[in-house]
Structure 1
Amino acid sequence: MLTLAFAQTQGAPSPGGGIFGTINMLVPFIAMFVIFYFLLIRPQQKKQREHRQMLQNLKRGDRVVTSGGIYGTIVKIRNDVVHLEVADQVRIRVNKGSISDMVAEGERVFEEVEESKKG
Structure 2
Amino acid sequence: MNENLQMILVNILPLLAIIVIGYFAMVRPQQKRNEKQNLLINGLKKGDRVVTIGGIHGTVKATDTQTVTLLVGRNQELTFDKQAIKDKRPS
| TM-score (structure 1 length as normaliser) | 0.69
Which of 19, 23, 27 is the equivalent residue of 2:9? 23
Instruction: Find the aligned partners of 2:61 and 2:31 in 1 and give their Cα distance.
Output: 30
Alignment of 1:77-96 (within 5 A): 77-96=63-82
Question: What corresponds to 2:27 in structure 1?
Answer: 41
Partner of 2:49: 63
Q: Are 1:104 and 2:90 counterparts?
A: yes
Residue 26 of structure 1 aligns to a residue whose secondary structure is helix
Deviations 1:51-83 (CA, angstroms, capped at 9, x unpaired):
101111100010001111111110111221111
CA distance in 2 between counterparts of 1:26 and 1:76 reads 55
Secondary structure of the structure 1 residue equivalent to 2:45: coil
By how many angstroms is 1:37 displaced?
1.4
Q: Which runs of 4+ in 1 moved over 2 A?
A: 16-20
Query: With CA pairs under 8 Å and 6+ residues apart, which has the higher RCO, 1 or 2?
Result: 2
Q: Return 5+ residue gaps in structure 1 as ranges.
A: 1-15, 106-119
Rounded to whole Å, the distance in 1 between the matches of 2:90 and 2:21 is: 35
Q: Shift in Å at residue 17 of structure 1?
A: 6.6
Taking structure 2 as the reference length, the TM-score comes to: 0.89
For 2:30, give the aligned amino acid: Q
The CA deviation at 1:44 is 1.3
| Structure possessing the higher radius of gyration over alpha carbons | 1
Which structure's residues are more often strand, by fraction?
2
Q: Which 5+ residue runs of structure 2 have no aligned equivalent?
A: none
Cα-Cα RMSD: 1.6
Q: Tell me the amino acid that sits aligned with residue 55 of structure 2.
A: G
